[in-house]
Amino acid sequence: MAISFDLTGKRALVTGANTGIGQAIAVALADAGADVALAGRSAPAETLALIAATGRKAVDIRADLSSIAPVQGLVDETVAALGGLDILVNNAGIIRRNDLADFTEEDWDAVVDTNLKTLFFLSQAAARVMMRQASGKIINIASLLSFQGGIRVPSYAAAKSGVAGLTKALANELAPAGVQVNAIAPGYIATNNTAALQADEVRNRQIMERIPTGRWGKPEDIAGAAVFLASPASDYVTGHVLAVDGGWLAR
């Protein structure tokens, strides 16, 4: 039997798809044949154009995912616009940095609400659709800090560790319904969010020395893993957190 990475006829919802990793994933899913709904606070004009060039359909759905308020409407709009929902990619996320002694409740709640609470309730809403059709793929974007503690980012480390645990919990419950739930843990990826680290000569050197492959990752490196986890090729993979990190964790 041929192994298939073909997503023709599939309908995907990708959060935070206007730039970086989210954009690369959305475009890769379209390249593989899926129609894609793009959810976020700002216009994903470039992503829409890139998907249009693939010949697939893309829709822009504005949603502020700092709370769970838009979650059900987001799933309903996706189903209405695309005719269904087969793939959810929970990519939207934020980070706040501060010393432990100075970390505020506001910064804690902002990160945990966006990165973990909204992710769960959006997955719940999508799962209801997927369970009815007895098929679906949920892909969460975790982090190296799902495995490590980091420095000066306690709420981010807590939320991303929670994403790893939640991925396994959802996988256990949804597997009998034919829905696979997995996560991708990106390493150091060259995006706008990491521009300051790349520009810092000392930190950039330290990071590069730790990565066995000797380079920063590209958003496309994450996109390839997402296509695999969204495709029939991964139908027997669930509850897994896939590190795409150039070997960082192995070191």
Residues serving a catalytic function are 156
Task: Indicate the residue type of 104.
Answer: T
What is the spatial distance between Cα 50 and Cα 75, in angstroms, rounded to a whole number?
23
Q: Kindly state the DSSP code that residue 248 receives in the 8-state scheme.
A: T
- Specify whether the CB–CB gap between 114 and 100 falls below 8 A: no
Task: Indicate the residue type of 82.
Answer: L
- Specify whether the CB–CB gap between 25 and 17 falls below 8 A: yes
- Specify whether the CB–CB gap between 189 and 215 falls below 8 A: no
- Specify whether the CB–CB gap between 217 and 160 falls below 8 A: no
What is the spatial distance between Cα 88 and Cα 230, in angstroms, rounded to a whole number?
9
